[in-house]
Amino acid sequence: MKDLIQKAEQYVFDLFKDKLNSNYTYHNFLHAQFVVSKIKELIEAEKTNEEESDLLVIAAWFHDAGYIDGAEGHEIRSAEIAGEFLTKNGVGADQIEKVKQYILATHLANQPQTKNEMIIRDADCAHVGDAAFEQLSALLKNEVELTTGKEIKDSEWNLRNYEFLLNVHRFYTDYAQLKWQPVKLKNVLKVREQIDNLDEIKEKERLKKSKIEKLDKPDRGIDTLFRVTINNHTRLSEIADSKANILLSVNAIIISIALSTLLPKLGSPKNEYLIMPTLTMLFVSVICIIFAIMATKPNVTRMDFTTEDVRKRKINILFFGNFNRLSLPDYEDAMEDLMSDRKYLYGSLSRDLYYLGKVLERKYKLLRITYVMFMIGTILTVIAFIWAFSENTDYGWLSPD
């Protein structure tokens, strides 16, 4: 059988030398040698018996022989060429059938059924788990361009590779999964990095910019509506903050005067009647200060969301509480998407205006409560002081002394 393997190698060499088109820069004798070397590596690791090993090696030599007549359906022609060669060399029908099955198993659409079919399938695709994947992939790209007469962009080729590596290819044997799969994952990451920096991404950005440039100008009435309404809301918010600050200042002054002037005198027995009115005044001022602070306190609503939620337009990126949690590239992509779609743009502005109104509602509600409390508290304080003075005519300024 060893002599037969040498004959098979020479036969394939002569076949490719004489009949293979030079455009096949990947699927040639060098590739056959590469697959044979990987077959031998797998045979040794998977403990395949000698007879089966020899048949696998022969199948590896012939598995791409059909390329002499083109790539389409080459597996079937390769099996036929191998069968003719083996028949001429007196190989039994059962062994010939096995070699044919091994060759047919290299077709990506066929699912390998036996261990030997898995071995030759893994060997044929071993380049994806090889450190020289980038160079081998370049040869394959060149071959496709030459045979089809069409130039392939690097970005398109990398996308094809990425799709193949992630969703089409897999290793079947234990040895390949252990030794070649980690290298394959590194190659996947390299392809991913290349995709991010090539023409596909640049073309996508160009199209986005083009969409923005072609976007019709917004209707003047709608533009004026949003501008005036948002300005009004902003001014109302400023007025609310100003009124709250006035209440804060007034009550702070009241507390300061009370602490510095009234409280030191309350320790005297003749001024005990002033304790209740003073405490009432301080209590009302403290409550007003608390509500005024609540009215001016920023209230940022935070939502848990993912980058996918942003892409699906579930998040209002005009609100700083959302977009400040995005990375700059994600934010720029989201803004380009927003500016390229008028309906999405006006919808986002409407939501922003709505939530601005909700904030104003809260501010003015708290501010209204503060003013009512200040008014009622001032009246109660005055009443408390009048009552205290009237009930304690023996002291203070009502005393006959």
- Nearest CA-CA partner of 295 in 374, 354, 226: 374
Q: How far apart are CA 97 and CA 79, in angstroms?
A: 9
Q: Is residue 20 part of a domain?
A: yes
Are residue 166 and residue 28 in the same domain, yes or no?
A: yes
Are residue 244 and residue 368 in the same domain, yes or no?
A: yes
- Nearest CA-CA partner of 59 in 26, 98, 115, 92: 98
> Looking at 163, 196, 229, which one is the last position of a domain?
196
Q: Is residue 206 part of a domain?
A: no
Tens-binned pLDDT, residue by residue, of the chain (401 aa): 778 999 999 999 999 999 999 999 999 999 999 999 999 999 999 888 888 999 999 999 999 999 999 989 899 999 999 999 999 998 899 999 999 999 999 998 888 989 999 999 999 999 999 999 999 999 999 999 999 999 988 888 988 998 999 889 999 999 999 999 999 999 998 888 887 766 555 665 666 555 555 444 556 667 677 777 777 777 877 887 888 888 888 888 888 877 777 777 776 777 777 778 888 888 888 888 888 888 777 665 555 556 666 666 666 666 665 566 667 777 777 777 777 667 777 777 777 777 778 878 888 888 888 888 888 888 888 888 888 777 775 544 444 44
Residue 27 burial (C-beta neighbours within 10 Å; 0-12, 13-18, 19+):
buried
Report the CATH number that the domain containing residue 31 is assigned in CATH.
1.10.1300.10
Report the number of distinct structural domains present in the chain.
2
Q: Is residue 394 part of a domain?
A: yes
Q: How far apart are CA 287 and CA 289, in angstroms?
A: 5
353: which residues sit within 8 A by CB, 6+ positions away? 226, 229, 230, 233
Q: What's the confidence (pLDDT) of residue 398?
A: 45
Are residue 142 and residue 258 in the same domain, yes or no?
A: no
Q: Is residue 204 part of a domain?
A: no
Q: Is residue 268 part of a domain?
A: yes
Burial code (b: 16+ CB inside 10 Å, e: under 16) for 134-148 equals eebbebbbebbeebe
Please spell the DSSP secondary structure of 316-338, one letter per residue: -TTSHHHHTTS-HHHHHHHHHHH
Token output for 47:
């403990």
Are residue 131 and residue 263 in the same domain, yes or no?
A: no
Q: What's the confidence (pLDDT) of residue 282?
A: 84
- Nearest CA-CA partner of 190 in 240, 248, 130: 130
Q: What's the confidence (pLDDT) of residue 201?
A: 54
15: which residues sit within 8 A by CB, 6+ positions away? 65, 68, 81
Are residue 154 and residue 254 in the same domain, yes or no?
A: no
Are residue 192 and residue 225 in the same domain, yes or no?
A: no
Q: What's the confidence (pLDDT) of residue 184?
A: 92
Q: What's the confidence (pLDDT) of residue 140?
A: 93
Are residue 58 and residue 118 in the same domain, yes or no?
A: yes
Q: What's the confidence (pLDDT) of residue 304?
A: 59
Whose tokens are 């390299």? That residue is 190
pTM of the entire structure? 0.51
Q: What's the confidence (pLDDT) of residue 299?
A: 63
Q: How far apart are CA 333 and CA 327, in angstroms?
A: 10
Q: What's the confidence (pLDDT) of residue 401?
A: 42
Are residue 173 and residue 31 in the same domain, yes or no?
A: yes
Q: How far apart are CA 298 and CA 284, in angstroms?
A: 24
Q: What's the confidence (pLDDT) of residue 399?
A: 44
Q: What's the confidence (pLDDT) of residue 325?
A: 65
Q: Is residue 77 part of a domain?
A: yes
71: which residues sit within 8 A by CB, 6+ positions away? 27, 147
Are residue 261 and residue 183 in the same domain, yes or no?
A: no
Are residue 303 and residue 359 in the same domain, yes or no?
A: yes
Are residue 130 and residue 66 in the same domain, yes or no?
A: yes
3-state secondary structure of 171: coil
Contact 288, 247 (CB under 8 A): yes
Contact 122, 171 (CB under 8 A): yes
Q: Which domain holds residue 251?
A: 220-398
Are residue 243 and residue 174 in the same domain, yes or no?
A: no
Q: Is residue 215 part of a domain?
A: no
Contact 61, 8 (CB under 8 A): yes
Q: Is residue 212 part of a domain?
A: no
